[in-house]
Structure 1
């Protein structure tokens, strides 16, 4: 009889998963959206996964602590893992400031690339002053800079200078990630 053998799961095509990271105001969302537009990867803004209580704290100028971040990071890792299972590649805009946070995100999809947008605080502060409608106040920039743990040698993280234009940052990311 045909069809009586063991069932073989459908082959899922390999996926790519990228986290564009950095402090608030570094251009994560702009660059991640640019990568998604150029490649067709599914874009998501990590801030959309924050529960209302976290958003209220940030609006009030209160930095989040790890008790607020761990569930959020696990949810993001799970979201990327689920997309990988579906065969969908993703690009995520997420601060991922500490190594431990990046390690949680790495538990999600089978492989994960990071793009760190980094540079002078003055450039970032000026960008934050020009944007409207964002709940993260510029007053929290210093706490984010203090929290940022630079990539360690064993981490696969592409670092780009925030002094570049958004178009230059997207082009560099696409080129260096071979997208």
Structure 2
């Protein structure tokens, strides 16, 4: 449990999520460097769910493009989004729960990977360019260069709190606290 004496984490639940049953699949989303992998791993450990790193599902050509500072097009992203959608579908068909990381920058991408299923929820790690750029500069061993952050923010369509299944978390809080608060909110939803 999280210490209630800590500063409150800004957690916003969409209207749809607030009225929904507990999701079976979570997609931790946001621009590169926002903490998707860490928060997903922390949530998966707490909940006992499987986790997939969405970057591992990119075709090699996408990794090469991004490594060279070339933004992906929608055509480049399509096979990657389809692989993520297939993983989500497999979990759902097997009655399993899981968490996948995926930038999910546009609403059309989110619709493509969730396929409209109400038990797929997006966990949006929201932060400004000023919040996230220092993290990217400190990160090592990842293909995404800092210079790509502008293109990520240019592509980003923030989730619609009225029409999408989304929980929004402020990236300025400690990641362990974010994961704990997200899990606590999910625990409050009916089965």
Distance 1:83 1:103 in 2: 17
What is the deviation of 1:63? 0.6
- 1:150 lines up with 2:141 in the alignment: no
- Off by >6 Å, runs of 4+ in structure 1: none
Contact 1:49-1:76 at 8 Å conserved across structures: yes
If asked which structure has higher relative contact order (CA below 8 Å, sep 6+), I would say: 2
Paired residue for 1:82? 90
Residue 99 in 1 paired to residue 107 in 2?
yes
Bigger CA drift: 128-137 or 102-111?
Answer: 102-111
Offset, 1:120? 2.1
In 2: Cα distance, 1:57 partner to 1:137 partner? 11
**Partner of residue 166 from structure 1, selected from 158, 175, 183:** 175
Say if 1:114 and 1:157, in contact at 8 Å, map to a contact too: yes
Which among 107, 123, 142 is matched to residue 131 of structure 2? 123
Stretches of structure 1 that go unaligned for 5 or more consecutive residues are: 1-13
Gapped regions of structure 2 (runs ≥ 5)? 1-21
- Higher gyration radius (CA): 1
Name 2:74's counterpart in structure 1. 66
The TM-score with structure 2 as length reference comes to 0.83
Query: Does structure 1 conserve the Cα–Cα contact (< 8 Å) formed by 2:35 and 2:175?
Result: yes
TM-score normalised by the chain length of structure 1: 0.88
Number of aligned residue pairs: give it: 166
